[in-house]
Amino acid sequence: MSTPVVGWTDQVARARLHVVTGKGGTGKTTVAAALALALATGGRRVLLVEVEGRQGIAQLFDTNPLPYEERRIASAPGGGEVRALHVDAEEALLEYFAMFYNLGFAGRTLRRMGAIEFATTLAPGLRDVLLTGKVKETVGRTDDNGRHMYDAVVLDAPPTGRIVKFLDVTKAMAELAKVGPIKGQSDGVVRLLHSGDTAVHLVTLLEEMPVRETIEAVAELDGADLRPGVVFLNRVRPPRLPARSVTPAAGGRVDASRVRNGLTSAGLDLSEEDLDGLVEETVEHAIRVLAEQNAREQIAEVDLPAVELPDVTEGIDTAALYELAEAMVEQGVR
Amino acid sequence: MTEQLDVDSLIDNPDIQVIVCCGSGGVGKTTTAAAIAVRAAERGRKTVVLTIDPARRLAQALGLRELGNTPKEVEVDGFEPDGQLSAMMLDMRRTFDDMVLAHAGEKRAQEVLANPFYKTISSSFSGTQEYMAMEKLGQLAGEGRWDLIVVDTPPSRSALDFLDAPQRMSTALDGRMIRLLSGPARSGGWGIRKVVGAGVMLFAKAVSTIVGGQLLADASAFVQAFDSMFGGFKQRARKTYELLRSSGTSFVVVASPEPDALREASYFVERLASESMPLAGLVINRTHPVLAGLSATKATAAADGLDSRGASPLAAAVLRLHADRVAVRERERRLLARFTKAHPSVPAVSVPAMPSDVHDLPGLRTIGEQLAGTGLPARN
């Protein structure tokens, strides 16, 4: 099915690095994984990167914990492929050392001593510099023919509260470390993250707090000259009540006798208590629907394209990821 | 069947002086901490709640209009507790500054505060918030003005960070590593150098090149200035850690009925056990109890019947939203069953989702009642 592209603008489609952030609990890892599948649909190769050490990707795809290497994790409709990478800051630092200093054996010893852990905590941000540095390397990597190794890279990034610090720490670092190879690397990362090759997507629920955090994060991204991409409205549930009934019901006015009559005509004979329960559930549902409408209006203020994802009541498994990816593709994700 | 967590017996126990609310980000820790504190104050205890990053309106509900960094008594209309309630928000930078000012000499303190390395470490180091929360808890406990301190923990990705970050921070501030890295030659007396010898030299050189000599020099200057107070600093952190392990402390692990949050809760429960830290139980926030005894299948079939006849759209909608709700509840039950199977002895209590966000005293009271199991009984 092809629908007019509203959610996925040409500008967003041009990005090769898709950073996915969101308030804790909004499902950003799920959205990142589904986005990787959606982008891989039709035969492309996409890398899904995790930097928070949570092994959330492995859990979503129901595989063993990911090592520090890129490995195929799923195939996408139309011959596409998703690979996954769990970036570990210590491993990245050792890799870095190996590249520049041929540290080999001593590296392992130092690791046992905790010196690597120390070095990554010594310079606040060094950890993030290494993580973003690795991400940049995967975005820029080319094969023998000079073609990009990955058509797109999706980063399951830190939550909204830390996202700008995470993405911009490189800049802080570049100012702090005035010379040295890390400075050169930082400059490259800063260029990538602030360019049209990068889009920062925000995942939110239609709830007050996540929406507020999203609005704040967009302002913060704008302020740091980072580019917000789309807002993913996650776990959207169908409104069940007829529109005209919502406001009265939210105010506690549900016509119980009409409900009772309707139930009787459907062959259901419920106790008073159960009927009261249904009415209470209806009131709560209506209050939530109103709150969601409110949240929708507020999120519209950030003036970003939106992509809607349905709530998967049974919980997220690999099959559900494909469903979400399909919903994304239908809304223009490409 | 898992035992019910009894919050009232926890807050009524005069031996309990500290309650720590932990859990991963976004599960409602701050609200839970505030609700426990309000209830404790109303039940007669002199309570202070240390919140980390409250939503603005929740802060306002507690009468906190600005970031004070010192406890302020909560005075809100309609709130006349038998005990007393004070509340504060953690300002990590100020807590750190205050600590430096209090424990270093005037000249040293100014040196430390002006150091670029200090500026970054006190505002953006990943463990600073956790460390400062601990420091503040230690201070509040030391003041002895309250008989119950309720602590909210920073919104980290992992609940474990609250316990681990101070150690990480301590290592970072420990002068040994920095001395080793900034001047291997001078650290000759220290054993590790002999063990790995040339490797360390190379490593030190590499680190210095990577992070830049200036940063290392700043760090080194910072550590030298900080050195005199480091012992006290570390000792206080250790003392707070001991406080967390004492029988006067109780941990309340907060989770939402989501796989990630419950997994974090699981890790945390295991960690508390291995550290011999006292666990009160698990709070599962925002559950969706079903309020009518009608199966989802029956409800959906009846709704389909009504829709096909075009009859009673209201009743059909009510039946469908009920079926949705049963499905949500079933999912929550499955997730919870997984947790209780792994941790059968952990008492738990469910707090049903409020239809809208909680940001006033009555809302906090209602949550308090749910926590104590004295709220409206949830059917099913």
- pLDDT, tens digit, for every residue of B315-360? 999 999 999 999 999 999 999 999 999 999 999 999 999 877 787 8
Q: What is the pLDDT of residue A182?
A: 64
Say whether pLDDT at B162 is over 60.
yes
> Pick from A121, A158, A262: which is nearest to B306 by CB?
A262
pLDDT digits (tens, 9 = 90+) for B280-292: 999 999 999 999 9
Say whether pLDDT at B191 is over 50.
no
Residue with tokens 């463990």: B127
**Amino acid (1-letter code) at residue A120:** T
Q: What is the CA radius of gyration of chain B?
A: 25
Q: What is the pLDDT of residue B67?
A: 55
pLDDT band at A118, cuts 50/70/90?
low
Domain boundaries, chain B: 7-174+229-289+336-372
Q: What is the pLDDT of residue B25?
A: 76
Joined together, the tokens standing for residue A160 give: 């909204």
The CATH homologous superfamily of the domain defined by B7-174+229-289+336-372 = P-loop containing nucleotide triphosphate hydrolases (3.40.50.300)
91-110 in B: which are within 8 Å (CB) of A?
none
Sorted by where each starts, the structural domains of chain A and their CATH numbers stand as: 10-239+303-329 (3.40.50.300)
If 0-12 CB within 10 Å is exposed, 13-18 middle and 19+ buried, where does residue A224 land?
Answer: middle
Q: What is the pLDDT of residue B379?
A: 44
Q: What is the pLDDT of residue B193?
A: 47
Q: Quick check: helix, strand or coil at residue B148?
A: strand
If 0-12 CB within 10 Å is exposed, 13-18 middle and 19+ buried, where does residue A183 land?
Answer: middle
Which residues in chain A have Cβ-Cβ distances shorter than 8 Å to B126? 121, 124, 127
pLDDT digits (tens, 9 = 90+) for B121-143: 787 666 778 888 888 998 999 99
Do the Cβ atoms of A131 and A92 come closer than 8 Å?
Answer: yes
Better pLDDT: A320 or B64 = A320
CB contact under 8 A, B181 and A122: yes
Contacts of A14 (CB under 8 A, 6+ apart): A196, A197
Say whether pLDDT at B21 is over 60.
yes
Say whether pLDDT at A123 is over 80.
no
State CA A53 to chain mean position distance.
15
273-332 in B: which are within 8 Å (CB) of A?
290-294, 298, 302-303, 305-306, 311-322, 324-325, 327-328, 331
Say whether pLDDT at B5 is over 70.
yes
Say whether pLDDT at B6 is over 80.
yes
Q: What is the pLDDT of residue B84?
A: 94
Say whether pLDDT at B12 is over 50.
yes
Q: What is the pLDDT of residue B192?
A: 46
Residues present in chain B in total: 380
- The proportion of chain A whose per-residue pLDDT surpasses 70, expressed as a percent, equals 85
CA distance B325 to A275: 15
**How many CB atoms within 10 Å of residue B90?**
23
**How many CB atoms within 10 Å of residue B68?**
13
Say whether pLDDT at A230 is over 90.
yes
Which residues in chain B have Cβ-Cβ distances shorter than 8 Å to A24? 24-27, 155, 157
φ, ψ of residue A133 in degrees (nearest 5)? -60, -45
Rounded-to-10 torsion of CA A137, A51, A130, B133: 160
Instruction: Write down the ipTM of this complex.
Output: 0.84
Which residues face A204 on adjacent strands?
A233
Contacts of A199 (CB under 8 A, 6+ apart): A11, A12, A15, A17, A18, A19, A227, A228, A229, A230
Average pLDDT over residues A294-323: 92
Residue with tokens 């809760």: B265
Q: What is the pLDDT of residue A173?
A: 63
Computed from CA positions of residues B136, A53, A31, B343, in that sequence, does the dihedral angle turn out positive or negative?
negative
Nearest residue on chain A to B24, judged by CA atoms? A24
CA distance A295 to A314: 24
> Pick from B192, B215, B290: which is nearest to A177 by CB?
B215
105-164 in B: which are within 8 Å (CB) of A?
116, 120-121, 124-127, 155, 157-158
CA distance B291 to B379: 5
pLDDT band at B183, cuts 50/70/90?
low
φ, ψ of residue B41 in degrees (nearest 5)? -65, -40
Nearest chain B Cα distance for residue A42, angstroms: 31
Which residues in chain A have Cβ-Cβ distances shorter than 8 Å to B167? none
pLDDT digits (tens, 9 = 90+) for B72-96: 898 888 888 999 999 998 888 888 8
Mean pLDDT value across chain B: 83
Mean pLDDT value across chain A: 87
Say whether pLDDT at B222 is over 50.
yes
Average pLDDT over residues B19-30: 88
Say whether pLDDT at A90 is over 70.
yes
pLDDT digits (tens, 9 = 90+) for A37-48: 999 999 999 999
Q: What is the pLDDT of residue A25?
A: 80
Nearest chain A Cα distance for residue B172, angstroms: 6
**Amino acid (1-letter code) at residue A333:** V
Contacts of B342 (CB under 8 A, 6+ apart): B266
Do the Cβ atoms of B199 and A170 come closer than 8 Å?
Answer: no
Joined together, the tokens standing for residue A32 give: 């990142």
Lowest mean pLDDT, pick from A70-84, A159-173, A292-306, B131-145? A159-173
Q: What is the pLDDT of residue B218?
A: 76
Q: What is the pLDDT of residue A2?
A: 41
Helix%, strand%, coil% for chain B, nearest 5: 60, 10, 30
Q: What is the pLDDT of residue B186?
A: 45
Which residues face A246 on adjacent strands?
none
Better pLDDT: A94 or A51 = A51
> Pick from A178, A237, A277: which is nearest to B324 by CB?
A237
Say whether pLDDT at A126 is over 90.
no
Joined together, the tokens standing for residue B297 give: 């299948």
Q: What is the pLDDT of residue B190?
A: 45
Q: Quick check: helix, strand or coil at residue A17?
A: strand
If 0-12 CB within 10 Å is exposed, 13-18 middle and 19+ buried, where does residue B181 land?
Answer: buried
Most confident of A111-115, A250-254, B124-128, B219-223: A250-254
Q: What is the pLDDT of residue B188?
A: 42
Nearest to A152 by CA among A322, A37, A319: A37
